[in-house]
Amino acid sequence: MKQVPKVPPMEGLRRQIRKSRRERGASGGDSFIRETFRLPRRDARAKAQEWFRSWPKAAYWTEVESWRQLPDDEIEFTMRRLPSAD
């Protein structure tokens, strides 16, 4: 009997996210501007605050779209906002 390698549970989710992002990028997707950062915790907090000051949430729908904690107290996060406050 052929043994199938075990795939970590998160790998399936990661594949789906990558596929979704590729398809969204190819089709034009939504109109949000996104930027991903990988910074030490203190710098990550300062960068997010900078985004909220520059592009206020009420006008630009600015938000931390996703984040995760990495080893050595680093944070990887994606900020998103609308391109204009029309």
User: pLDDT tens across 17-29, in order?
Assistant: 888 777 765 545 6
> In the predicted model, is pLDDT for residue 51 greater than 70?
yes
Does any domain span residue 8? no
Number of domains in the chain: 1
- Residue 62 structure tokens: 């600015």
Q: What CATH number does residue 62 fall under? A: 3.30.30
Q: Are 80 and 62 in contact (CB under 8 A)?
A: yes
- Taking the complete model, does pTM exceed 0.85, yes or no? no
Instruction: Identify the domain containing residue 48 by its residue range.
Output: 32-86
DSSP states of 5-73: PPPPHHHHHHHHHHHHHHHHHHH---S-EEEEEEEEHHHHHHHHHHHHHHS-HHHH--EEEEEEEEGGG
Does any domain span residue 62? yes
Does any domain span residue 58? yes
DSSP character for 1? -
pLDDT of residue 47: 97
